[in-house]
Amino acid sequence: MTNLKRFLIRRFLTFIPTLIGVTLLTYVIAFIIPANPARFWAGGLKARPDVIQMIIHEYHLNDPWYVQYYYFMKGILTNSMIDPVTGYHVMSYILSRFPITFQLALFGFFFTVVLGIPLGIISALKRDTWVDALVRVWSLIGVSVPIFWLGYIFIYIFFYKLGWITIAGIPYPPKTITGVPIIDAILEGAWPVVIENIKRFILPGFTLGFASIGVVARLTRNAFLDALNSDYVLFAKARGLKKLRVYGHALKNTMVPLVTVLGLQFGGLLGGVPITETVFGIPGMGRAMVQAIFSLDFPVLIAGTFMIAIIYVVTNLIVDILYAFIDPRVRY
Amino acid sequence: MPEPIVIVEDLKVYFYTYAGVVRAVDGVSFEIYEGETFCIVGETGCGKSVTSRALTKLIDPPGRIAGGKVLFKDRSGRYINMLELDEETLREMRGKEIAYIFQDPAAALDPLYTIGYHFIETMRDHGTIRSNKEGIERAIELLREVAMPAPEVRVKNYPHELSGGMKQRAVIGIGLSNMPRLLIADEPTSYLDVSVQAQILELLRQLKEKRGLTLLMITHDMGVVAEMCDRVAVLYAGHLAEIGPVDRIFMNPLHPYTQALLRAVPNPTRRMLKLEPIPGNVPNLASPPPGCRFHPRCPYAMDICKRERPKMIEVEERHRVACWLYAKR
């Protein structure tokens, strides 16, 4: 257990350079854009010079980039920076939108796991049949089709033609516990709200997870086939183990590479969030970031990037911990 | 004279691949007597492992048993054809009547489970224990029997925490956990250090004596053959070349392949000045040479060798060979 504690401390320390690196890169990219944010924030062409001066002073826009970066990060982390475009505290604004994004990613991840893994297993068991070919084609389509195209096609079919789903508003349960609507609704037992949330998120979630389903199915197929062809499965059969137990051995070994990829996919889903949220009109963090780009709203952009980076590193940490539970060879 | 525990008649195992039908085992017949150590020797790819696995139909697609019989003498003394049994009966036979151990013990054990778990699941699925606690007790006994140091500790270990020799001991213990009567050891020492090889062979010999096991050894190592075996079958490219008592095979090899093989490796029964490799290559089994499969490499090849497959001929007592040189003309 002390080993786990040491491992966690070590990993948390590696978070710091990762987060600094990600935000710094985003910041530098925003900084070199040849635009005049102060003027834009002050009202564009008609901006009053004294207001522009105030904004430059407030956001240290005349200071060197590293000083600016320092004040940006300090303002975001202490939640003391007020967003020049929206007027909210930057971090509060991002945090208020984050639960929606998280819920969307959860839906995408749900489809990734619930469809990706079984499809991969079926594909492996029915190797070189039409089922296998179908799954492979799906994987290829999944990684090739752009999310925005797929999203509009789905909206056309399921909303416009069939009317099975809703694409407006986020139903909230009466009380806020975690902030994530569907989790709160489940915790409170507000089942109509749960169903409303499912109807609202099922399509964006599926769209978001579409590529991941293919990736995970392919990986599961290959890992499961490797396991089935391994010597331990041969030995298991040779010992006369029951069929289910033989498959159990193969499945658990398949989990080892799968957990890593699932973690990365969860991070990848967050990367797809801005497009999905824009297409489906979901007021989450991703859409806030897209809007921030259009209005040169760097504080929101950097705060959003910061959140995504945090989710990424935390997911990877969870993966590493899970790893040790599955594979006894892994030691901290 | 003991009775055969296994009679293999005209066994054929084919692999249906894109490159064509690979006749990995093509009409092999032999019998294994109760209580003996029987060896199948041959080069890599000659079909020796496939033969041993076919005894319990442990052949995965694209491989298929294309013909023949495997008669196994059950505990009541009747012979049953293994190849006609249904999947569930076969499963019960595997591990309980016929056990296997394989060449790479590190790969044979599932890295995610403890040694003890391997024992428990093996006994559970054959109904020989009632509880996991009983399973652990039996596992410790078995590990002690295979001379595993500190068995109470080892039973809780994961495979990666054991050395190669200890892993093979564990594999043997797991294989023996349901008291099988026939143990098939497929190159049990190939992956082990030379110093450990002798220990494992000695262990197998002791276990065989103590339990009255019948041992089928698959090997390419003539040293192991001389050390362990009572009778030997020499396999070449899916055909049986020669079969006989071990001393006759070494003293009086009949088949030109056996003779060449014994000249190619250090022979424990005679002084040799130098080793001679066998000229030519092992044939491709998707398009094997007609007639005797050894004829392209055989110094004594005759016309008939290229046309017709030789039949097994008993040249001396219990010593048979498939070669036209010994056919009565």
Q: What is the arithmetic mean of pLDDT over A281-285?
A: 87
DSSP A149-208: HHHHHHIIIIIIIS--S--S-----SS-SSS-HHHHHHHHT-HHHHHHHHHHHHHHHHHH
Q: What CA–CA distances, in Å, run from B14 to A111, B140, B245?
A: 42, 41, 29
CA A300, CA A297: separation in Å to the nearest integer? 6
A325 lies within 8 A of chain B by CB: no
Q: Which of A263-267, A328-332, B188-192 has the lowest mean pLDDT?
A: A328-332
Parallel, antiparallel or unpaired: strands B214-219 and B37-41 = parallel
H-assigned helices in chain A: 2-32, 37-42, 49-58, 65-77, 90-111, 117-125, 130-144, 147-154, 181-188, 191-228, 231-238, 243-280, 285-294, 298-326
Residue B7 pairs with which residues in a beta bridge? B31, B71
Instruction: Indicate yes or no: CB of A234 within 8 angstroms of CB of B108.
Output: yes
Q: Is the pLDDT of residue A311 over 80?
A: yes
pLDDT tens-place string over residues A65-88: 888 888 888 888 888 888 877 888
Closest chain A residue to the Cα of B56, Cα to Cα: A238
CA B254, CA A217: separation in Å to the nearest integer? 56
Half-sphere exposure (Cβ direction) of B304: Cα atoms closer than 13 Å: 10
Higher pLDDT among residues A324 and B26, named by residue:
B26
pLDDT tens-place string over residues A129-175: 888 898 888 888 888 888 888 888 888 888 888 877 777 777 777 77
How large is the ipTM? 0.89
The whole-angstrom distance between B92's CA and the closest CA on chain A is 6
Conformation bin of residue B138: beta by default, left when phi > 0, alpha when psi is -120 to 50? alpha
pLDDT tens-place string over residues A94-131: 888 888 898 899 999 999 999 999 999 999 988 888 88
pLDDT of B165 reads 86
Residue B231 pairs with which residues in a beta bridge? B38, B245
Conformation bin of residue B127: beta by default, left when phi > 0, alpha when psi is -120 to 50? left
Parallel, antiparallel or unpaired: strands B63-73 and B4-17 = antiparallel
Across chain A, mean pLDDT equals 85
The partner residue sitting opposite B104, judged by closest CB among A231, A238, A256, is: A231
How many separate helices (H) and strands (E) can be counted in chain B?
A: 12, 12
A128 lies within 8 A of chain B by CB: no
Q: Contact at 8 Å (CB) between A151 and A145?
A: no
Instruction: Indicate yes or no: CB of A253 within 8 angstroms of CB of B110.
Output: yes
- Residue count of chain A, please give it: 332
Q: Which structural domains are found in chain B, ordered by start?
A: 4-97+180-326 (3.40.50.300), 98-179 (3.40.50.300)
The partner residue sitting opposite A328, judged by closest CB among B56, B112, B178, is: B112
The partner residue sitting opposite A239, judged by closest CB among B94, B107, B158, is: B94
pLDDT of A189 reads 80
pLDDT of A50 reads 82
pLDDT tens-place string over residues A164-193: 777 777 777 777 777 788 888 888 888 888
- What are the boundaries of each domain within chain A? 92-285+311-326
Along the 329 residues of chain B, how does pLDDT read in single tens digits?
688 898 998 999 999 988 888 888 888 899 999 889 999 998 887 888 889 998 888 888 888 888 888 888 888 888 888 888 888 998 988 988 999 998 888 899 999 999 999 999 999 888 888 888 888 988 898 888 888 888 888 989 899 998 888 898 899 999 988 889 999 999 888 888 888 888 888 888 988 888 889 999 998 888 888 888 999 999 998 888 899 999 888 888 888 888 888 888 777 667 777 888 888 888 888 888 888 888 888 888 888 888 888 888 888 888 998 888 887 65
Instruction: Indicate yes or no: CB of A240 within 8 angstroms of CB of B107.
Output: no
pLDDT of B232 reads 93
The partner residue sitting opposite B110, judged by closest CB among A242, A243, A249, is: A249
A328 lies within 8 A of chain B by CB: yes
For chain B, what is the largest distance between any 2 Cα atoms, rounded to a whole number of angstroms? Answer: 67
Q: Is the pLDDT of residue A247 over 90?
A: yes
Fold of A92-285+311-326: MetI-like fold (1.10.3720)
Instruction: Indicate yes or no: CB of B100 within 8 angstroms of CB of A230.
Output: no
Q: What CA–CA distances, in Å, run from A310 to A89, A261, A289, A322?
A: 19, 18, 16, 18
pLDDT of A332 reads 65
Q: What angle do CA B111, B166, A320 make, to 5 degrees?
A: 25
pLDDT of A61 reads 79
